[in-house]
Amino acid sequence: MAIVIDGKLISQQIQEELALEVKTIKTNGGKTPHLAAILVGNDGASETYVGAKVKACEKIGFKSTLVRLSQDTTEQELLYIIKGLNADADIDGYIVQLPLPKHINEQHIIEAVDPKKDVDGFHPQSVGRMALNLPTYLPATPYGIMQLLERYKIETVGKHCVVIGRSHIVGSPMSILMARNTNPGNCTVTMCHSRTANLKEFTLKADIIIVALGKPEFLTADMVKDGVVVIDVGITRVTSDSTKSGFKLLGDVKYDEVAAKSSFITPVPGGVGPMTIASLLVNTLKASKKEVYK
């Protein structure tokens, strides 16, 4: 039976480590790290994520600023706000919460963020530096996965890693990070997606599978070999008669049957999810200490 990778526990450990470091910085008269977030509209999932970020900042001693904008905010108005955050010396890093309303071009917004404050790791400069293995801010979810692999001492060198999904937020950066000459890393990586033929042939050969599709219970036991490491990034809310709330959260992996064949596996919820905010906080501390851009 698999060892369950506890993202909630590791996230708490990282936040405790950050809190100690922030306390030391403040004691020595240093600058308090300051993370800002821009929230446009009232998307429920975005509200939850940003709210958790604000709480995490308070918990570890960061300053936190939330810029709330209405659903009908124009692209030009948002770009003006971003220009102000870029120029604000007190703000070390900030995120523009995605998705944005359909009338706003997300790529225009991402490219307007100062790379020195791009703690989400989405700017083309950040992505390019990641691909070249240069100091940068790694995207929060992939960075969180790398920290889980590291802290659970999961061997990656020389392993075959299959990444299912090619989004710019998870799949594509994961394929780069797992192939880099680092530890964790040094995998032989296969990226699979909606157009991959005979997907099962690839997953059956994989030592590590990272699934980021958004399709509930997509990966089943007949698609994996014994001893595989499974990282489930998916999270989908589905209706359920067995819960008080009337819904439950499912990952991209059919958990019970795949766990029976795995050496390590992340649950949903409580696996990758909690690591996203922890990684964002790590990036913000790096920005505050000028570790990436001197």
Q: How far is Cα 118 from Cα 145, in angstroms, rounded to an integer?
A: 19
Which contiguous run of DSSP H or E holds residue 7?
helix 7-27
Q: Within the chain, how many helices (H) and strands (E) appear?
A: 10, 11
Q: Residue 208's closest CA among 166, 158, 276?
A: 158
Catalytic entry in 118, 120, 207, 232: 120
Active site residue 63: no
Q: How many CB atoms lie within 10 A of CB 41?
A: 17
Active site residue 97: yes
Active site residue 120: yes
Using CA atoms, how far residue 188 sits from 13, 166, 227, 275, in Å, is 30, 16, 17, 24
> Cα 157 to the chain's mean position, in Å?
22
Contacts of 152 (CB under 8 A, 6+ apart): 3, 5, 264
112 φ/ψ angles, rounded to the nearest 5 degrees: -80, -20
* Residue 232 bridge partners (DSSP): 211
Catalytic entry in 97, 118, 147, 207: 97
Tokens of 130: 């990641």
Catalytic entry in 6, 53, 117, 252: 53
- What positions carry a catalytic annotation? 53, 97, 120
